[in-house]
């Protein structure tokens, strides 16, 4: 597998920095209760860009066995789709802003604010939009 594709996540095999074709960063028109991903596709400590059923794209992070957080992957600086976490940080490929995978908070500029969180919840082995 191409290294760039591997770094871009386990679920949505997309080029870093851009949403999947036809996708918009964020939940799109997905509604509460829509299934976003399965826990089996998101090992503990990992993260991935996933396509929502509503034409959107989210960055999912699984910091613990029973915890999954979702962020709009659009960088708050200029909108580039950020990379899934690697080496303890979420990095924007355009100007290298960094974000905390656990919270989405900015840890290195030029971005001055963190990634926007999107509410999700677990239902068994599924990650649902909350």
Tell me how far apart the alpha carbons of residues 33 and 5 are, in angstroms, rounded to a whole number. Answer: 29
Per-residue binding string, ligand FES, 82-101, x by CB under 6 A, is ----------x-xx-x----
Least distance in angstroms from the C-beta of 75 to ligand FES? 3
Tell me how far apart the alpha carbons of residues 81 and 79 are, in angstroms, rounded to a whole number. Answer: 6
Do 59 and 49 meet the contact criterion of CB atoms below 8 Å apart?
A: yes
103 to each of 45, 89, 99, how far by Cα in Å? 13, 11, 8
Least distance in angstroms from the C-beta of 114 to ligand FES? 12
Number of residues that bind ligand FES (CB under 6 A): 10
In the set 77, 101, 106, 118, which binds ligand FES (CB under 6 A)?
A: 77
Q: Is beta strand 67-71 parallel, antiparallel or unpaired with respect to 90-91?
A: unpaired
* Interacting residues with ligand FES between 56 and 75 (CB under 6 A): 75
Least distance in angstroms from the C-beta of 124 to ligand FES? 35
Q: Which two three-digit tokens encode residue 114? A: 């963190």
Residues of the shown chain interacting with ligand FES in the complex, contacts defined by CB under 6 A:
75, 77-78, 80, 92, 94-95, 97, 110-111
């Amino acid at each position: 597998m191409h290294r760039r594709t591997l770094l871009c996540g386990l679920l949505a095999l997309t080029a870093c920095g851009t949403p999947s074709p036809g996708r918009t960063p964020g939940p799109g028109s997905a509604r509460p209760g829509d299934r976003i991903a399965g826990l089996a596709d998101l090992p503990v400590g990992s993260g991935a860009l996933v396509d929502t059923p509503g034409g959107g794209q989210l960055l999912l992070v699984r910091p613990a066995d029973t915890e999954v957080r979702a962020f709009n992957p659009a960088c708050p600086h200029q909108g580039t789709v950020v990379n899934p976490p690697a080496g303890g940080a979420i990095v924007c490929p355009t100007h290298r802003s960094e974000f905390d995978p656990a919270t989405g908070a900015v840890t290195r500029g030029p971005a001055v604010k963190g990634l926007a969180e999107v509410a999700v919840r677990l239902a068994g082995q599924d990650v649902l939009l909350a």
